Structure 1
C-alpha cells in the first residue's frame, strides 16, 4: 500500500478504547488505510467523513489515560495541518439539575472543562480541585492542556440550538452501527439493565446506587452559564463553552462502553453553522485597519533602471533560495543610514516578488512598512501583526481556520483590543499551518517603531524561523532599518545598502536623468562635483533635495552662481535641512521682504502642524489651519495642484502630499526631517525664541486653531439647515448635514475631535488651561460633534468633566476644579464621569480621578499602594464597554463591583461621595458586603468594614449565607482578623474554610470560638470536610480542639469514611491520622458499608485498602452491607479490582461470601 501524506489530514480523532476505535471506523465515509511513516506505538486510521480528512488515533497496547495521551500526542506531530482534535469519552457521573446551581458532568478520569482567560479550556481532573459553587480550580501543579477550537464551539452551539436533549438526532447515528459485529465484545447494542448500574452523585462527591425503571438515556453535556457580570473573578467567569463530548450516564466498564462509545462526534458537515464563515469574516474585519498600508502606498516607486541590482546580489539570491534556509533561517536584514533609500528598495522588492510569482503558486507575499508619522497602529507591532495576518488570510483563505481557535464573542460585541501575545499566537499558528505553502514577508523601517517592541518582535520571528526550519516550512522575512536598533540575531543575512555598487550607480543615474542644466563646461563641473559628493554620502534623500535646489536655481538664474550654490550646500543631511529653513526664515528666498514676518510665522505653524497634529492633516485641513478665515469668506475646496503648491511653499519642500489611494495627507518628505527638528534640536536652532516649552506651546497653538475654527463654524452655521431646529431639537437629515458640513468646513471634524487632545497635551507640558475651563462651551461643542458624526435626536447636555473623561484627558482632569465629583451620577448613558472613563477604556482618566481623591487621604492610607498597582496593571477586570448602560436609579457602588472595578469601588467608598449608595440591600443577593465577599473582593470587603458601610451584616442571602461564610471561601487574604466584625457566628463558615483547605482561616475561626461541631445542611461537620479534602493539617487542628471523630453526616459516613473516598493524593495521610486517633474502622453507614468497603471502590483503592487492612486497626474484612455485598464482592465488580482481590483473599476474605452475595 502506498504511504499516505500526513499533511492532507486536518482532524485528529482520539479513540482510547478499542471499542471506541471500532465504532469510529464504522462512522467513516471512506477508508484511506493505516500506512504512515514514523508511526511506531500508535495506529493511525485514515479516512474521510463529511468532507473532512480524519485521522483516528489508537495505541497498540490498549492502554488509556495519561500515558496513552502522551504517546498519541508524541507521534501525532507528523500531522502538521491538524486544525482541531476530538475526544469521545464515557463518564462516571450524572447531572443534578435540582441542585442550586445545577451540577455539571465531569468527564470521568480524564478531563475537566473550564474557562482560561476568555477561552474554554480543558485540564486534567487530578491537577485541580472543586471549589465553592461547583467551580474547578487549578492546583499548583495544574496546567491547561488545550483550549476549545472555535469550530468545535460553533458545532456545539448549533447542536444545542437545533436539538437540545432530543434523541431524534442522535439515534440514526447509533442505529447505523448498533448491530455491527465487534471482534472482541459482540455488538454495539445496549448491554441491558443488569449491566446498566446508575450511581447517584451526592453533593460531596460520594455515590450510591439508584433503583430506576428501564430506560436508555444518553445525555449531552449542556450546563447553563450564569450571568457573566456576576461571577467570581478568580474563576474567570463560568463555563461558556463545553467540550464536544457525549457522555454515558453509567460507570466506566468494558461492557457498557460498547453502547456509549458509538455516540460519536456529530456529522461535521450538517452541524457546522453557516455562522462559522460569518465569524471568520467578523474576525478579519476586526483585524483589518483602515489605511494601514498608507506608508507603503506613499513611498515613491523606484525610478526606471534603479534598484534592479538588488536581484543580483549574493545575499538576496541566497535569501530567495529555499535550499539555503538552514544556513540563514530565512532572515535578510537590509541596513543603511537615514535617507539612503531603504523604503524605496523594499517597495521595489515587494513589487518584484509579487509580479514574478507564478499563477497558482502555493505562496503568499506580505509586507508592512512602519510609519512614525502615522497613527498608533502604523508605528506599533500590534498594527503590524494585524496587517500581516489580514494579508495572509486573504491570500491563503484555507488558513482562516486558525481564527476559529479564538473566542471572538467579546463583551458588548465590540472589536477586541488585540494584544501582542494574542496576535503572535495567531501568527505562529498560521505559519505552523502553512504545510507545503511558503510565506515571504517584508518589514520596513524597524527604527520607526519602539525599540522595546522591535526587540520582542525580533525574538519572536527568530523563534518562529527556528520552528519553521524544524517543520520544513518555507518562511522568509526581509527586514530593513537604520543601523539601530542594534539587535543581535543568531542566524541571518545582512546587506549594507551604502556599500553596494549598484546603489551608487542608481544615484548617478538619478542625477543624470533629473538634473537638467545643459552640457557646457559649468554644467559638467557641477555634475561632476555633485556626483562625487553624492557617492560619498550615499543618501538618496540628500541627492533628491540638492538636485531640486540646483534645478530651481538654474530655472530662475541660469548658470550664474550655480557652482557657488552647490558649494554652499552642506553634505550633512541635517545641516541641509537647517540651511533650507534658515534661508526661508530670513527672507533669502522671498522677493517681498515685507512678507518676511508672515512667512516666518507660516513656516513655524506649518512645522508645528505636521509635527504635532493628532493625525496627519489633509492639504485642505492644513490650509485652513494656516488661514482659518478662508472658510468664513467662502471655501470651495482645493484642487490637487493648489494643495501641493501650498505644502511646498509653507514647508519649503520639507513636507509633501502623499500619493494615497484615499484622502491625500501631508507628511514630511522623510522621517529624518522629524529627527532633525526634534531629536537634533533643529527647531531650537532655527527658532531659539520658542525653545521654552515648545511642545506644550505648539499644542496650545493647535488647540487655539481648533477653538477658533469651531467658534467661527458656529457663527457660519447659525440659522442654516445644517443644525437642528430650535423648536424641536430634531435634525432634518443628520447624515446629509454631516456630509455638507464637512464639504463646507473641511477642518471642522479635526477641530471638534482634537481640541481636547491638544488642550490636554499642552496642560501636561505645563501650559495653563484656566481660561479653557472658563470659556469652553460644551453646548456648542456637543452640537458640532452631533453634526460631524451624523448623530440624530436632541443634542444632550454634558458637563465638561464628563467629556474629559470620555476623551481620556487625564492632564485636564487633574487640573479641573470639579474633579472630585467624578462619582456623581448624571442623566447620561454611563452615569458618572468615572464610569464614562471606564466605558471608553480611558485608563489614564480613571487614574486621574482616583489620584484626585487619594491626594486628600492620609499618606499612610493603604489605598495609595493599591492606586499604584492599578495604574501599572490597568483595569483588566473591567467589563464596562461602550455599549454598556448605567441602569436607571442604579447604585454606582454595586455597578462598580459587578463590573470588576474593585479598586475604583474602594476609592469611591473612601471618598465619602457615595455614602448614599452604601445602604443597598437585595433580598436575593444580600448587601454590598455580600457581593464583595461572594466574589472574593478582599479590598472591597476591608474597605466596607473600615468605613462601617455594612448595614445588614447579619443578614443571609437567598442561599442562606452570611458575608462571613462567603469570605472564608476566599481564604485568609479576605478574612478580617476580628471575625466578629463580620456578624454573629454562623454554622457554615468553619466548614467552608475546611472545604477550601484554608488552614489559616480555620485557625482564625477557631480562635474566635467558632463551633467546631456545627454541621451543614448535609450533616457534615468541619472535620468531615477536612477529612474529605484530605488536609491532614486541618484534621490535626480540629482533633486537637476536641472535634468529634465519629460524627456522621446524612449518609451515616464518619470522617474516616469520607477520607477513604477522597480524591486528593494526600488522603492517605489523613486516613492514617484518623486511625491513629482512634477512628472506628468498622463503623457502618446507612447502607451498611464500612470504610474498607468504601475504600475498595474509591479512586485511590490501591493505597487505601492496604492501609485499612493493617492489623493495627482491626478491620473486619467480611462485613456485608445491607445488600449483602462484602468488600471482596465490590472489588470483583469494579474495573481494575483484580489488583486487590488477591490481597483481600490473603487477608481472609471469604470467596464463598462473595459468591453468595454477588
Structure 2
C-alpha cells in the first residue's frame, strides 16, 4: 500500500472516520455498509502510515542485522570457561592495563594492549573476564564489541570475515548512528543482488570509516588471533594497527594470541601471562579449590610443574582427584612426580594408559580432527559404534539418552573432546589438535596409519560412511518427510550421505576407482546418496536433482581428483541430468575452475545446450564467475549462443548481474551487442531494468540498437520506465529512443510508469511527447493502468493531459471518470446497479460489493449466475474476493453456490494473484472448491504461480489435484532462480517435469490480450517487483 506523510484525522466517536494516507482521500466507516479504500479496497481500517513506516524500518534493521549474523556468532564466548572466583583480577592493576584503559600517553601505544601467552595459559578466560569487567566498570560510555576466534569452530569462527561481521553486528545494535551510516550499504546490496554476501574489504572500509566519525569512543576485543591461518593473522594485525593509527576518535583495542606466529606491531602495550607472579597465584587458588584432598605440598608441586599453563593444571588435577576417589591417597604424590610437565606429554599419558577401547578413542580423535563439518554428539557416537561393528538399530532416546552419549564421548576420548554450546563436539582446547598433528603423534598412537596420516584417516571415514549407509540403515525412504524421519532414527545418516565423497577425495586408498565404479554401476546406491544429500545438505547452494549422475555430483563438489579417476573409465562426459544439464555446466555454476579444465581436457562439449542456464558460458556469466568465463572463452566457447536459458545470452546474463568485467570480456571476444534472447530480449533492456547507467552507456557505445524490440518489456525505454530509472530514460531519449514504441507487457513506456506508480517518470515521458491515447498492453491504456493500480495522482495527471491534448469527451470513460473524480465519496449502495455493468476498477456491481468489504454472503447469493461476466481487469466477483478480500467465508459461499471457479480469467488472475496475496489458508479454500489445477488459458496458471513463489506445499497439493508438471514455461519465472526455491525445483523435476523444455521463447504481440503478454508474464513477471499488478 502506498503511504505518504500528511494530515491525520481520526474520530473515535460514532460517526465516520477519515484518514488521509495516500494520493487521495480514503474513507473508513465503522457503521454498516461499504467501506471504500481507494488504494487497495481492503475493506478494513487502514494502519497509521507512521506506524507502518516504523514497522518497515524495524524489519529492515532486523534483516540488516541478520545479514551480518551467523549461526555460531556468540558460541565461542559462551563456551569459554568463566574465570574461577577471585582469579584474573590481577590484570586490572597492572601498569600496562592502567596505561591502556586510561589512555596514558596514547601516542606511544595507539590504544592497543596485546596479551600474549603459551598454549593453555588461560588467555581466552582472561579475555572473557576482562571484557565483562570493562563493560561494567570502565567503558560504560563507550561502545564495546568483542570477537573470539575459534580454530575448532565453523568457517566464520576461524576467518577475518567472521570477526568483521561479529564486531559490526554488535556495534550496529548498540549505536543507532552507526546503523544509519551502514544501512545504505545494505540497501544497495538488496537492490542490486538477489543473492549476496558481505565481503571482507567493504566491511573493513566501513569499520575504518567509523574510527573517523563515531560519536562515542570504541573499544574492541579480539581473542585468539593465532587461531586463524598465519596469512590471516598477519593481515588482521596490519588491519587492526591501521585502525589504531588512523583513528580520529578514542579507540581502544585489546588483543590476545600465542607467541607464534611472531608478528610485530610497531606501537602497542604487551603483557605476557605466564611471566606474571599474579598468574601463578591464580593457579594456586584454582588448585586449592579444585583438589579433593587439600595438600599444600601438592599445590606447590602443581605450580612448579605447570609453568604457567592452566590447561596442564586442569588435566592433572582431574587425574589427582581420580586417584583420590579410588582410595589411592598415597599414590597422589607419586602420580604428580611421574606426570610430565610438558602439556603434550600429558596428552600422551592420558591416551597411552591402559584403554580397552583404544580403537574407539583413536577413531573419535580422528573424526573430530578430520571432520568435514562440526559434528553433533549423536553423530560421533553412532559413527563410533558403526566403526566398532556394533549394530544398535534405530536410535531410541529413551534408551540411549543424550547424557549417556556425552558420558561415552568423554570417557572414550579420555576427556579431550567436549560438547560445546550449540550442541556440537570439539577438542577441549586448541592444544589438543596441535598435539595430534605435531610430530606425527597420531601415528605414534596408531602405527597402522603409516606415513600418510591424513589420507588414511579420510579413507577410514569414507569407509565408515559407506558402511553406515549400506549396512546400518536397512530401511528405505522415498519422500523428504520419510528421509527426515529416517535421519532422526539414524543420526549419522545425514553426515554420511553428504560427506562421503569429500572424504573419498582426500583418501589415499588405491581402491577409489573401484569405489567410483561401484557408485556408477549401482544406481540404487547412487540414488540413496542423492536423496539423502538433497535432504541433509542444508549448506549447499544446489541439490542433486533427480537425474543427476555421478559426474554432476563430483563437479558440484569440485572433487577434481575423483573426477579424473572417473574419466579414466568409459563414461559419457556430456551426459545430461540434474539442474544444470551437464557436468561442465554444474562445475561452472559451482565455480570449480579446476574441474572445468579437467572436463574440457577430457572432451566435454563446451557449447552443449541444456539445463537451467542453457550453456556453460551463460552459467558462468549468471553466477559472476569471471575466472571461469576466461577459461571458457580461451577454450572456444561460442559467445553468441542464443538458444535458451533465462538470460538468453551470456552478455545479457552479465548485464543482469551488474558485472562490467564479464561484459567487457564478452564484448572483446566478439559478443553481438544486439543478440536477442531470454526474458529481457537484449542486453540493453537488461541493463535498463537493473538501472546501471554506466552499463547502458557502455552498450550504446558498442552499438546497441536503442529501439530493438523483444522481451518482456519490448524496449529498453519501457524497461527503464517500469523500474523508475529516470537517468537512464533521459539518456535513452537523448540517444533517440522511440517514446511511443508499442509492445511488451505494458504496451508503452508511459503505461509501464503509470502502472508502477512512477509519477516522476510519467511527467518526464509526457514532457517528452508520450502519446496518452495509445491502446496497448495488459491494461489497454496508461490511464486504465493508473486507475487499476490505485494511483490517483497519476490518473488525474493523465486525465488533465488528455483533456489538454485531445479534449475531455474523447479521453474519459464513465467508469474511469467516476473512479478518479468521485473517489472522495464513499460507495454507499451498489446493489441497485446492473450487476453486469463492465469497465473501470470495479467492473460490476457484484464485484464492487465484495471489493468494498460487504461481508453479507447471503445477499450475494442473489447474484449467482451473473458473477462470471468478464471485464478488462477483474473478471468476476469470485476473483475480486480472492484478490482483494481476506474473507474465506465469502469465498467459500461463492464456491459452494456453484460459481464457475475455472473460467479462464479466474484461473489466470484469481489464482495467479490470490496465491501469494492470501497465503495458505485461502489456497486451501480454493482447492476445496474444486478449482481445476490444470485450468489453462495459455499456461498452467496455479502451478506456475505457486512454483514461482517458492510455495513447496502448494506445488505438492496441486500435484495431488492433478496438475501437469511438464507444462511448458513452468521453469522460466525469474523467481525460480533464487536458491530458496530449490525445494520447488525438486518436486517439479521428481514428478517428471522436463528441464530442457525450450518453448519459452515466444514472439511478443502488440495486441494486449494475446498469448505473448501472458507467457512472458509467466517467464519473468515476478522479477524484482517489476509487475506490481501481480505482486503482493
TM-score, normalised by the number of residues in structure 1: 0.48
Q: Over alpha carbons, which structure has the higher Rg?
A: 1
In structure 1, the residue matched to 2:378 is 620
* Aligned 8 A contact 2:552 2:578 in 1: no
In structure 1, the residue matched to 2:838 is none
Residue 336 of structure 1: how far off its partner (Å):
0.7
Cα pair distance change 1:901/1:739, threshold 3 Å: closer
Cα pair distance change 1:918/1:452, threshold 3 Å: closer
Residue 509 of structure 1: how far off its partner (Å):
1.0
In structure 2, the residue matched to 1:465 is 244
- Counterpart of 2:71 (choices 272, 290, 296) is 290
Which blocks of at least 5 consecutive residues in structure 2 are unaligned? 8-21, 26-48, 520-524, 676-681, 685-696, 703-734, 737-1032
- More displaced, 557-566 or 419-428? 557-566
In structure 1, the residue matched to 2:446 is 687
Q: Does 1:645 align with 2:399?
A: no
Q: Does 1:342 align with 2:123?
A: yes
- Counterpart of 2:112 (choices 331, 339, 354) is 331
In structure 2, the residue matched to 1:806 is 556
In 1, Cα distance between equivalents of 2:80 and 2:74: 10
* Aligned 8 A contact 2:621 2:654 in 1: yes
- Counterpart of 2:343 (choices 557, 570, 573) is 573
Q: Does 1:528 align with 2:303?
A: no
* Aligned 8 A contact 1:610 1:668 in 2: yes
* Aligned 8 A contact 1:936 1:970 in 2: no
* Aligned 8 A contact 1:307 1:506 in 2: yes
Q: Does 1:492 align with 2:492?
A: no
| 1:496-545 CA distance string (max 9 Å, x none) | 111212110010111111122355xxxx54443333323xx111111111
- Counterpart of 1:757 (choices 485, 502, 513) is 502
Residue 618 of structure 1: how far off its partner (Å):
2.0
In structure 1, the residue matched to 2:596 is 849
Residue 935 of structure 1: how far off its partner (Å):
9.4
Residue 850 of structure 1: how far off its partner (Å):
1.2
In structure 2, the residue matched to 1:666 is 425
In structure 2, the residue matched to 1:564 is 334
Q: Whose RCO is larger (CA < 8 A, sep 6+)? A: 2
* Aligned 8 A contact 1:389 1:427 in 2: yes
- Counterpart of 2:311 (choices 541, 550, 566) is 541
Cα pair distance change 1:617/1:935, threshold 3 Å: closer
Aligned 1:1094-1109 pairs, distance under 5 A: none
In structure 2, the residue matched to 1:769 is 512
Aligned 1:50-449 pairs, distance under 5 A: 277-322=58-103, 324-356=105-137, 361-406=140-185, 408-409=188-189, 414-435=194-215, 437-449=216-228
Three-state SS of the structure 1 residue aligned to 2:169 is helix
- Counterpart of 1:831 (choices 581, 593, 604) is 581
Q: Does 1:705 align with 2:464?
A: yes
Aligned 1:8-47 pairs, distance under 5 A: none
In structure 1, the residue matched to 2:1003 is none
* Aligned 8 A contact 2:395 2:489 in 1: yes
Cα pair distance change 1:807/1:492, threshold 3 Å: same
Three-state SS of the structure 1 residue aligned to 2:254 is strand
- Counterpart of 1:555 (choices 325, 329, 348) is 325
Residue 582 of structure 1: how far off its partner (Å):
2.2
In structure 1, the residue matched to 2:363 is 605
* Aligned 8 A contact 1:315 1:494 in 2: yes
| 1:691-721 CA distance string (max 9 Å, x none) | 3211011111112222222224651x32xxx
In structure 2, the residue matched to 1:633 is 393
* Aligned 8 A contact 1:820 1:852 in 2: no
Cα pair distance change 1:835/1:340, threshold 3 Å: same
**Number of paired residues?**
627
In 2, Cα distance between equivalents of 1:744 and 1:853: 43
In 1, Cα distance between equivalents of 2:463 and 2:498: 13
Three-state SS of the structure 2 residue aligned to 1:652 is coil
| 1:399-454 CA distance string (max 9 Å, x none) | 1122233254359955523322111012223333421x222221111111122222
| 1:152-201 CA distance string (max 9 Å, x none) | xxxxxxxxxx99xx9x9xxxxxxxxxxxxxxxxxxxxxxxxxxxxxxxxx
In 2, Cα distance between equivalents of 1:641 and 1:750: 21
Three-state SS of the structure 2 residue aligned to 1:366 is strand
* Aligned 8 A contact 1:921 1:928 in 2: no
Cα pair distance change 1:751/1:856, threshold 3 Å: closer
Residue 565 of structure 1: how far off its partner (Å):
1.9
In 1, Cα distance between equivalents of 2:613 and 2:336: 76
In 2, Cα distance between equivalents of 1:927 and 1:743: 45
In 2, Cα distance between equivalents of 1:929 and 1:547: 67
Cα pair distance change 1:269/1:507, threshold 3 Å: same
In 2, Cα distance between equivalents of 1:741 and 1:434: 53
- Counterpart of 2:533 (choices 785, 808, 811) is 785
* Aligned 8 A contact 1:631 1:745 in 2: no
Higher strand share: 1
In 2, Cα distance between equivalents of 1:958 and 1:442: 48
Residue 929 of structure 1: how far off its partner (Å):
11
Three-state SS of the structure 1 residue aligned to 2:326 is helix
Cα pair distance change 1:541/1:897, threshold 3 Å: closer
* Aligned 8 A contact 1:280 1:403 in 2: no
Cα pair distance change 1:380/1:303, threshold 3 Å: same
* Aligned 8 A contact 1:330 1:475 in 2: yes
| 1:750-771 CA distance string (max 9 Å, x none) | 2222222212222xx5755212
Cα pair distance change 1:404/1:559, threshold 3 Å: closer
Residue 287 of structure 1: how far off its partner (Å):
1.0
In 1, Cα distance between equivalents of 2:650 and 2:146: 53
In 2, Cα distance between equivalents of 1:275 and 1:909: 45
Which blocks of at least 5 consecutive residues in structure 1 are unaligned? 1-28, 30-48, 51-161, 169-267, 584-588, 725-730, 858-862, 864-884, 951-956, 960-968, 975-1016, 1019-1158
In 2, Cα distance between equivalents of 1:408 and 1:686: 55
Cα pair distance change 1:823/1:687, threshold 3 Å: closer
Residue 342 of structure 1: how far off its partner (Å):
0.6
Residue 886 of structure 1: how far off its partner (Å):
7.0
Three-state SS of the structure 2 residue aligned to 1:681 is helix
Residue 674 of structure 1: how far off its partner (Å):
1.0
* Aligned 8 A contact 1:332 1:492 in 2: yes
Three-state SS of the structure 2 residue aligned to 1:657 is strand
* Aligned 8 A contact 1:603 1:651 in 2: yes
Three-state SS of the structure 2 residue aligned to 1:495 is strand
Alignment root-mean-square deviation, CA: 4.7
In 2, Cα distance between equivalents of 1:340 and 1:506: 11
In 1, Cα distance between equivalents of 2:588 and 2:641: 24
In 2, Cα distance between equivalents of 1:906 and 1:304: 61
Residue 273 of structure 1: how far off its partner (Å):
9.4
- More displaced, 293-302 or 422-431? 422-431
In structure 2, the residue matched to 1:191 is none
